Amino acid sequence: MKTNLIIFWSLVFGLWSLPSCKEVGPDINLHGNQNTVSDTTYIESPVATAETKNVIIEEFTGVRCPNCPQGHVIIANIKATNPGRVIAVSLHPINSLGKPYNGVSTQDFQNAKAQSLFDYLEPIGQEPAAGIDRKKFSGEAYILLDKSLWSGYTIQQLTQATPVNLILDKSYDSTNHELTVFAELHYTQNVTEENKLTILVTESDIITAQLNGAVVDTFYNHKDVMRDFISDTQGDLITQTREAGRVVRKVYKKVLDAAWKPENMRIVAYLHEYQNTKMVYQGKEIDLQ
């Protein structure tokens, strides 16, 4: 399927047009995001079979947070127990818990986009805190949750169905560090809520200081660190109608920071609601290289 998706976009951009009986487009529409280069749609028949749902964990953390390594272990265990089904993003908002250590830290993970998302998801005044599919679970006051709740709610979400299939692919030019992301949505049910698509890149195996309990570990291995958003921080609006059989194809291009290590990076995409709720329908991740 990945190969087919790359072939499709190669045909659209370089060789010839696909038959017009299905396509409505190419409908070039930047929707305010400078990284978007194409937005196309058509109706497929028969409607695709719904795929297995994956879970997105958005964890807010900081290098001066003494309890955050406990959260990192919890997420690592959740992922190991559910291989290929759980996608984690580690976000470092700008606050006293995220300030790097002078003379010790090799990088500053604090990020204005992480802060913006933290505010959007209603912070609970502590770290670590994480959203599980951005769902506000029954009996909980906030979307972001204490680490003691992550495992149970992740298991609960893994049993849910998804109304949208998500296909993700990419190409990467290592010479100029330009990343092209191909995302394809297949609606398997009618969806009434407005949707947005979020795409970002993460990097793992970053060695720098982390407070762990009372000790500063100068060789701490940071995983799944959000480096940047390819989409808007709160996601890009799906402007098309969202009936069963609707397919939406989007292409993004972005030049990445040359200091990042592409061999340790992943592309993460998730489709979610954003008005009445912020719940995630489906998520996918793939290696950048």
Average of per-residue pLDDT across 169-198: 98
pLDDT value for 34: 82
Q: What is the pTM of this model?
A: 0.90
Over 70: is that where the pLDDT of 14 sits? no
Over 90: is that where the pLDDT of 90 sits? yes
Over 90: is that where the pLDDT of 159 sits? yes
Q: How confident is the model at residue 4 (pLDDT cuts 50, 70, 90)?
A: low
Over 90: is that where the pLDDT of 101 sits? yes
For residue 44, give the nearest of 170, 167, 160 by alpha carbon.
167
For residue 60, give the nearest of 105, 140, 116, 137 by alpha carbon.
116
Tens digits of residue pLDDT in 20-71? 233 333 333 434 578 889 999 999 999 999 999 999 999 999 999 999 999 9
* Cα–Cα distance measured from residue 125 to residue 193, given in angstroms and rounded to the nearest whole number: 29
For residue 184, give the nearest of 126, 130, 112, 246 by alpha carbon.
246
More confident residue, 34 or 283: 283
Tens digits of residue pLDDT in 189-231? 999 999 999 999 999 999 999 999 999 999 999 999 999 999 9
Dihedral of alpha carbons 126, 130, 135, 138, sign: negative
More confident residue, 256 or 15: 256
pLDDT value for 38: 92
**Is 41 in a helix, a strand, or coil?**
strand
Q: How confident is the model at residue 178 (pLDDT cuts 50, 70, 90)?
A: very high
Q: How confident is the model at residue 5 (pLDDT cuts 50, 70, 90)?
A: low
Average of per-residue pLDDT across 95-117: 97
Q: Residue 170 in contact with residue 201, Cβ under 8 Å? A: no
Q: Which CATH superfamily includes the segment(s) 55-287?
A: Immunoglobulins (2.60.40.10)
DSSP 8-class letter at 262: G
For the chain, the structural domain boundaries read 55-287
Rg of the chain on CA atoms, in Å: 19
Q: What angle do CA 236, 241, 243 make, to 5 degrees?
A: 120
pLDDT value for 260: 98
Q: 179 in the Ramachandran plot: left (φ > 0), alpha (ψ -120 to 50) or beta?
A: beta
* Cα–Cα distance measured from residue 202 to residue 214, given in angstroms and rounded to the nearest whole number: 28
**Alpha helices (H) in 52-149, listed in sequence order:** 68-81, 112-120
Q: What are phi and psi of 282, to 5 degrees?
A: -160, 150
Tens digits of residue pLDDT in 109-130? 999 999 999 999 988 889 999 9
Tokens of residue 107, six digits: 């990088």
pLDDT value for 147: 98
